[in-house]
Structure 1
Amino acid sequence: MQQHRPLPDVTVLSDHAEVPGLGFLPVNTFVVHAAEPVVVDTGLSTPGKDFVAELASVIDPADVRWIWITHPDRDHTGGLWSLLEAAPQAKLVTTFLGVGIMSCEWEVPMHRVHLLNPGQRLDVGDRQLVALRPPLFDSPSTTGFYDDRSGALFSSDCFGGPMPSPEVAESGDARAAGDTLRDTQLLWASVDSPWVHHVDEAAYRATVDPLRALDPSAILSTHLPPAVGMNGQLLDTAAAAPSVPPFVGPDQQALEALLATFEPA
């Protein structure tokens, strides 16, 4: 993992996952250095990952007071259960549906859950975190937020995109993707939010406009290097998502053709 500080009170722990045929998807965890420190998402669950050890290089896990899971996909919850053990005073911020999804696999400690819906606020001592549903999402439990002190927008999967290399994925600056950024974000929108091709475009764009009004100091997506000073570009790209061709993945014939190129074991 690489560490970056896009804002004075936000640290990013940057990791990535290779997506064959698409590229290298950033997988970020964020630490909001509030009076009551907040960890946003907890990384990958692949073997060999020690999320708590990585986090300890930024903050003593015992000091964490809130763990905000933007939605319970496994690339967001990899270190959740070990962090709950290492941070005994921390509360798990999620939705009612998020608890239900996680409960299919784990025993969720309900006495440590804090349920929050889009539009509600979480007081973390020196700031309010305003929960919101980003325009693009792949889970009905998705909840990002706007930090009213730093001005940062935490957007979960929205604005993400696979990068051309691991170095770019963990670069700490979305501009490192260069001219490919718009295309890769639109590809990801089609992969991750396929429903966007079936919406009323005017109604959909009305979900993007409130983010323009917020004018965040940074857009912090779990699946994009931090984006500072790029609001117009990213919001225009998100607004265009309904108009791009739907993603169609490889089928069995393509898989067999690929396997045929491998050398025998």
Structure 2
Amino acid sequence: MGSKEDKASAAGGGFFSTIAAGVKSWSTAVHKSVNGIMGYEGLEVINPEGGTEDAEAEASRGRWKQEDRDSYWKMMHKYIGADVTSLVTLPVIIFEPMSMLQRMSEILEYSELLNKADECDDPYMRLAYTATWFVSNYYQLQRTWKPFNPILGETFEIVNHCGISFIAEQVSHHPPMSVGHGENEHFIYDITSKLKTKFLGNSVDVYPVGRSRLVLKKSGHVLDLVPPLTKVNNLIFGRTWVDSPGEMVLSNLTTGEKVVLYFHPCGWFGCVAPSYTSTLLNFHHVL
């Protein structure tokens, strides 16, 4: 017979082993693959509300009819791991009634932040206003529909809306690429919208290759933005939701200062709204 200490250790080990096994089983259920449930290989369904429901129940939800899901999956499964930016014709059910050129202009809705940045004498508050303006664009993530790709040479223009003029044009069709220019008395905003994608079965990673550049007219400072990737989950099975984890880096090319914002990935309990942590750097020294 063992000592009391050995028995206590065994009892404790059994207790913690039971907890570990329970957590493992729960996490497996949360990210349970559709494979084996519905006969599809390489698919994963993630509940946007945090995984409290089984993957099979979540997979039956969403905007697709069952027959549409089946036929689209038969067409798309061969593209797993590929850049599908220009490879496939997408069904109209996933689109919203606007073009990418219009979507590019939506960030100007909060341009009063740039007006404040241009009028601000504090260089760090200027960066804070500008970073907040770029972050405001992520409210679009609640809309999970894709804008239509414009045809080559298509343009979209806003003339003197609250003092702002904006024009965008589709300059390449394969691969799709758009450029835009907007300005008012306080700032000049230029954007090149170009994407690379990686199709993962029931999700797609979208990597922004284009860049955004901003000039504040009063100070003459030039700022450059490198955004994080975007991940679209539950494309075919389940309710579509969008996450944008990783770093967004806003650099003042005139002074060398930069803001690094880390967008926290959605966790086990879903993602109601994006959250992030910011760091301000001055010539590589953290402030």
Give the strand-richer structure, 1 or 2.
2
TM-score by length of 2: 0.24
Larger Cα Rg: Structure 1 or Structure 2?
A: 2
